[in-house]
């Protein structure tokens, strides 16, 4: 698993175009006029801005170039990750786990006292484990609208808010919240909060004992990847709807649930590793983008009559074959298998994470005398 959006943002300037007198060059966004990796698409033989113009069809030149860069970057990253499947454990670690796992006791309502009430979630020390909260389930004694706040303690304001309806019957609302031990745009080792401010409630929530019966059963599974505990921050530790004062976290831990449930997944996420090493994909993306331009121009023969000639089409076919061979490798007569650019891309994932990544198979782990 990795975040396509985050990787694409990191790769936005991975390859670009050398200065050209073609008028289409002026319309390119600035990030395509330079190259962080040192590779330029129009440095490859046969690739010119005039050729790109032949393949754009109904799109503008700039929009077409941006779309090709995005799609071919993901194509290269996906192919690379697929080649690492023997090294990476990319399956979901936990899928759709529900907390708490017990019915509501409707005789036990939470007495409101202007607090922040919710859960504290501490991800396991890891660069690659991602906790995704997929939905929240609420039930109150009278229907109302409610806002849930999610806090990253490295920021004063909520990282996100969730507006949903709380009903007298249990209602699950879909959300999409990612929590990590080490965030690229935040700190490391944080304890996140998700919950509500009691002053926003018109009704009352129902509580359960956190450590009783099935309420706590899911923790036997989730504790390997995250610490989850109910919290109730007193009013004196609050500052409006900003993040509660985390120095009072230990004293805020509660033995009763906050009145709502969570469903979440835990996955191995290699986004940070890919972002940290994004420039290593420069040459591969350069060739993938060029191949796409050749294929699109060849398929758009009505726009440029010169491309429709059999000789020019044969030239395109040969250029595509040559570039695909350099990029992906292949068998060469009387030579054998020729490794491609993608084959030579290497990231040592071994031991990066004890849960998600396997150790090197040839490493000696124990010695006996």
pLDDT of residue 363: 45
Name the token pair of 226: 């995250």
Tens of pLDDT along 229-244? 899 999 999 999 999 9
CA atoms within 13 A on the CB side of 177: 25
Judge contact between 261 and 216, C-beta under 8 A.
Answer: no
Q: Is the pLDDT of residue 216 over 90?
A: no
Tens of pLDDT along 298-319? 877 554 555 555 566 777 888 8
pLDDT of residue 92: 56
Give every CB contact of residue 166 below 8 A, 6+ residues apart in sequence: 138, 139, 140, 143, 144, 145, 146, 203, 260
pLDDT of residue 217: 52
Instruction: Using a pLDDT cut of 90, give the percent of the chain over it.
Output: 39
Tens of pLDDT along 138-166? 888 888 888 999 999 889 999 999 888 88
Show me where the domains of the chain are located: 4-87+273-344, 92-269
pLDDT of residue 357: 60
């Amino acid at each position: 698993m990795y975040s396509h959006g985050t990787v694409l943002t990191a790769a936005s300037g991975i390859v670009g175009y050398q200065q050209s007198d073609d008028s289409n060059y002026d319309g390119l966004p600035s990030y395509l006029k330079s190259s962080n990796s040192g590779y330029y698409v129009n440095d490859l033989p046969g690739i010119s801005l005039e050729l790109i113009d032949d393949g754009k069809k109904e799109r503008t030149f700039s929009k077409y170039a941006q779309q090709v860069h995005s799609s071919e970057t993901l194509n290269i990253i996906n192919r690379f990750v697929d080649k690492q499947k023997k090294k990476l454990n990319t399956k979901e670690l936990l899928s759709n786990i529900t907390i708490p796992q017990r019915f509501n006791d409707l005789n036990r309502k939470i007495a409101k006292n202007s607090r922040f009430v919710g859960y504290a979630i501490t991800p396991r020390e890891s660069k690659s484990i991602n906790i995704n909260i997929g939905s929240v389930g609420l039930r109150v004694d009278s229907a109302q609208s409610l806002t849930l706040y999610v806090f990253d303690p490295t920021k004063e304001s909520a990282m996100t808010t969730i507006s949903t309806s709380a009903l007298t019957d249990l209602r699950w609302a879909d959300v999409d919240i990612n929590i990590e031990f080490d965030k690229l745009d935040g700190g490391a080792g944080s304890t996140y909060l998700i919950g509500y401010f009691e002053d926003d409630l018109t009704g009352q929530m129902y509580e359960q004992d956190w450590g009783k019966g099935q309420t706590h059963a899911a923790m036997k599974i989730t504790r390997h990847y995250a610490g989850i505990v109910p919290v109730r921050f007193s009013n004196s530790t609050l500052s409006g709807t900003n993040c509660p004062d985390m120095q009072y976290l230990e004293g805020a831990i509660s033995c009763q649930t906050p009145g709502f449930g969570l469903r979440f997944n835990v996955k191995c996420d290699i986004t940070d590793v890919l972002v940290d090493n994004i420039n290593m994909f420069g040459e591969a993306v350069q060739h993938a983008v060029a191949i796409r331009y050749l294929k699109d121009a060849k398929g758009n023969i009505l726009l440029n009559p010169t491309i429709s000639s059999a000789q020019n089409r044969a030239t395109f076919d040969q250029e595509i074959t040559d570039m695909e061979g350099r990029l992906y490798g292949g068998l060469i007569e009387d030579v054998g298998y020729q490794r491609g650019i993608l084959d030579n891309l290497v990231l040592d994932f071994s031991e990066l994470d004890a849960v998600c990544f396997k150790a090197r198979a040839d490493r000696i782990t124990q010695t006996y005398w």
